[in-house]
Structure 1
Amino acid sequence: MANLNGKVAFVTGGSRGIGAAIVRRLAADGADVAFTYVSASSAATATALARELAVDGRRVIAIQADSADAAAVKQAVEHAIAALGPVDVLVNNAGIFVTGVIGDASLDEYERTMDINVRAPFVAIQAAQPSMPDGGRIINIGSCLAGRAGRAGVALYSASKSALVGLTQGLARDLGARGITANVVHPGPINTDMNPADGAAAGAMVSVLSLPHYGEPRDIAGMVAFLAGPEGRYVTGASLSVDGGYAA
């Protein structure tokens, strides 16, 4: 497919897992892509991905930016705009998953969770949207735990992803007059190195799904590509689950 030819995409947390699958899919669909990675330890992986995808005139750049640092997020968006042009498709994917029952959670854990999972998308949106062309796309990666915690120990994470839903709905109203859509994609259990399908907790997770298996990163990337492309032009303010029936 080439329905994103001439478009510029920016993806946070794009060097591995779901983020890397999104970067690959948007590039395959024709977009020039900038993506962030968190630290120097990820630089080699991020650089290799950018080089792999930068073929046939496609421009793909990797930018180091810790989403816990608001200034770094803003600078990363500005870097992408300077290098590639205004962002047509913004995907806020970077996030952290802090677990623990509420009595054991620290204020530092709360602040870091909110900084990365909520503040960073807010900052990226503020930096990108002034120059975003009419008809642009904002896609936030949420979680199946935003609407249904399902177990103990996920209060902070669930709260942050629920906040992302509210932010997205407000964005849909704020930016709709410009034809800019804003949506949340809620992954369920996805087979990544951080949550492997053969991990210790996988059996318990699969037992509460309608489809008895983990999803793959490409499943999330496919939904993002739909929302980013022309067929997603009339979908906004929506929460779209790709969760194997976790919420069913």
Structure 2
Amino acid sequence: MYSIKMKNKFNTTYWNKATRKGHYLDDIYGKYKGEDIKQLIEKWVPDIDKKRILKTDCFEEAYGHDQILFNIAKENGEVYGIDISNEVIEKAKERQKEFKTKKRTFICCDTKKLSFEDNFFDVIISNSSHDHFPKKELPAAIRELKRVLKKNGVLILTMHNKHNQIFYFACQFGKLTGLIPYYTTFFTKKETKKLVGEEGFKVEYITTYFHAINQSHKIVKFLRKIKSKKIDRSIKNSVKLFKKIGKTKMNHYLGWFIALKCIKK
């Protein structure tokens, strides 16, 4: 049952602790995931380099090979990243030095209470941020994104894909056993479209991305410890196969994430 206690639980202290274990993907799978969402972003917003951009959740930028903010709008654009975890923000600032890109602005704040003016951003990328909220908090959180987005601005929203039942039940097991150290929720395409539609967004496109068999990332992480070029080559070939599957009707059931392009009316 949702309660005030639950609402106050997911604060800076909670997320500092939950993210200290670092990323769950190795570099091959991480780059695959990052490239997948980057291609979607650049397809849906071709002139992304000219935009003022906000990304909610900087876990990837702090710890992952699937980071986004250092790979888009490299020359121009005005790019902001926020996270409720001050530790994640500091780590993202440190990693920024590794990338040859225009400086990004990182701010520690809650995505449910953003420290920006109304109609400030052209594009908001909410990359698997809001699927870590209790569902009762989501309408208000989506309204807050709408507040800071310009009219006709683009919200790219991604959520855990409930149609991927293997992924869904594996995560439920992980939550019960403590193997997944943070709160997660899953959504169908219909639920996600309803959520943003009720808050005044028009959904232009909906798809899935990062197609892989669940738990394969853990096998990959284990195998990479062997330091074998042959193993690395096999893993890269599996990624090529998953990319092909992503272009078939199976993408609905193997994508880890649902992705929507939403327009503020």
- Length-normalised TM-score, structure 2: 0.48
Measured after TM superposition, the shift of residue 127 of structure 1 is 1.4
Q: Which deviates the most, 179-188 or 6-15?
A: 179-188
Measured after TM superposition, the shift of residue 129 of structure 1 is 1.3
Q: Equivalents in 1 of 2:219, 2:247: separation in Å? A: 16
Q: Equivalents in 2 of 1:188, 1:53: separation in Å? A: 29
CA, structure 1 residues 41+114, in 2 after alignment: closer, same or farther (shift >3 Å)? closer
Which residue number in structure 1 is paired with residue 74 of structure 2?
Answer: 28
CA, structure 1 residues 169+123, in 2 after alignment: closer, same or farther (shift >3 Å)? same
Which residue number in structure 1 is paired with residue 186 of structure 2?
Answer: 161
The alignment-based identity, stated in percent, is 10
Structure 2 counterparts to residues 115-194 of structure 1, below 5 A: 115=134, 118=135, 122-143=139-160, 145-150=161-166, 152-155=169-172, 160-162=185-187, 166-172=191-197, 175=200, 181=204, 183=206, 185-189=208-212
Q: Equivalents in 1 of 2:106, 2:130: separation in Å? A: 20
Structure 2 counterparts to residues 2-151 of structure 1, below 5 A: 3-14=47-58, 15-16=61-62, 17=64, 20-21=67-68, 23-28=69-74, 30-50=76-96, 52=99, 55=102, 60-65=104-109, 72-75=110-113, 77-79=114-116, 81=117, 86-95=120-129, 113-115=132-134, 118=135, 122-143=139-160, 145-150=161-166
Q: Note the alpha carbon deviations across 1:81-111, whole angstroms, 9 max, x for none.
A: 48xx7122122224499xxxxxxxxxxxxxx
Q: Is the 8 A contact 1:92 1:121 kept in 2?
A: no
Higher alpha-carbon Rg: 2
Q: Equivalents in 2 of 1:171, 1:96: separation in Å? A: 12
What secondary structure is seen at the aligned counterpart in 2 of 1:161?
coil
Q: Equivalents in 2 of 1:198, 1:243: separation in Å? A: 24
Q: Is the 8 A contact 1:91 1:140 kept in 2?
A: yes
Q: Equivalents in 1 of 2:93, 2:157: separation in Å? A: 24
Measured after TM superposition, the shift of residue 147 of structure 1 is 0.6
CA, structure 1 residues 186+18, in 2 after alignment: closer, same or farther (shift >3 Å)? farther
CA, structure 1 residues 244+164, in 2 after alignment: closer, same or farther (shift >3 Å)? closer
What secondary structure is seen at the aligned counterpart in 1 of 2:79?
strand
Corresponding letter in the other structure for 1:20 = Q
Q: Equivalents in 1 of 2:223, 2:250: separation in Å? A: 18
Measured after TM superposition, the shift of residue 125 of structure 1 is 2.5
Q: Is the 8 A contact 2:162 2:187 kept in 1?
A: yes
Which residue number in structure 1 is paired with residue 220 of structure 2?
Answer: 198
- Length-normalised TM-score, structure 1: 0.51
Corresponding letter in the other structure for 2:196 = L
